[in-house]
Amino acid sequence: MIELRTPTQIEQMRPAGRFVADVLTALQDKADVGVNLLELDELAHQMIKDRGAESCYIDYHPSFGASPFGKVLCTSVNDAVLHGLPHDYELQDGDLLSVDFAASVDGWVSDSALSVVVGTPRQEDLDLIETTTRALEAGIAAALPGNRIGDISAAIAAVAHAKGLAINTQFGGHGVGRTMHGDPHVPNDGRAGRGFKLQAGLVIAIEPWFLHTTDEIFTDADGWTLRSADGSRGAHMEHTVAITADGPLVLTRRA
């Protein structure tokens, strides 16, 4: 069921958005060569405790997950692009790290993700992150009352296709509110003018993710981490966006 939020409720969602943005900023600052993925997860866990927030991941067990997730972050490295289960791994020079984080504050959820290169970057990784970022901003710009879900999807896809990237539509954006995942689904490819008509009060996560040379993925033996079929690296960017009469309001925008 698609739910619309009142202007008052959208204001009540702002603290969750600010918190998620602050956590991702802290994680981006912390991520460095030699830092363990479990250290990143512990930092986020401590920030959740300090804020009195609630993790959206730790008990999360959808049909595609092998078991309850058990951590508060998704940390996807190199050929892993989504749902990376934090484990005992120290970041290496040149690693491409994607971090996805969602939390509830005062009963309202926000969800956001970013990708960074640790240490010495490869130019192709920087280019992939830049393309994914531009695709996210294009999707946000299309999140206007009167447009349709397909307009967001088409805007994201246009950026990716211009760079010759293939697009997987198994996982994409989604509604956000009292829970992390709700209707509508917001795929990263689609036809403009199609799908649900956007209205003020709709709150969605827009989240393009791309791989260098494929759109094929498989699930790692941990039952969660999604990896590219050909070993190519991936980038993932996401914001929680409220559609208002004045245009899109990005609740998880980082300073």
Task: Answer whether residue 56 shows pLDDT above 90.
Answer: yes
How would you write 139-150 as a 3-class SS string?
HHHCCCCCCEHH
Question: How confident is the prediction for the chain on average, in pLDDT?
Answer: 97
Q: Is residue 1 part of a domain?
A: no
Task: Tell me what pLDDT residue 255 has.
Answer: 86
Q: Is residue 241 part of a domain?
A: yes
CA 220 to chain centre: 19
Q: Return binding residues for a divalent metal cation.
A: 100, 111, 174, 207, 238
Mean pLDDT of 218-243: 97
Mean pLDDT of 42-54: 98
Tokens of 236: 């993932």
Mean pLDDT of 190-198: 97
Q: Is residue 220 part of a domain?
A: yes
Q: Return binding residues for substrate.
A: 83, 181
Task: Tell me what pLDDT residue 63 has.
Answer: 85
Number of domains in the chain: 1
Mean pLDDT of 207-211: 98
In this structure, are residues 71 and 103 in contact, taking their beta carbons and an 8 Å threshold? no
pLDDT band, residue 137 (cuts 50/70/90):
very high
CATH number at residue 108: 3.90.230.10
Q: Is residue 214 part of a domain?
A: yes
Q: Is residue 177 part of a domain?
A: yes
17: left (phi over 0), alpha (psi -120 to 50) or beta: alpha
In this structure, are residues 140 and 241 in contact, taking their beta carbons and an 8 Å threshold? yes
pLDDT band, residue 65 (cuts 50/70/90):
confident
Distance between terminal CA atoms of the chain? 33
Q: Return binding residues.
A: 83, 100, 111, 174, 181, 207, 238
Q: Using one digit for the tens of pLDDT, what is the confidence trace for 169-180?
A: 999 999 999 999
Q: Is residue 2 part of a domain?
A: no
What percentage of the chain exceeds 90 in pLDDT? Answer: 97
Residue 195 sits in which domain range?
A: 7-250
Q: Is residue 165 part of a domain?
A: yes
The strand order across the sheet containing 217-219 reads 80-82, 226-228, 217-219
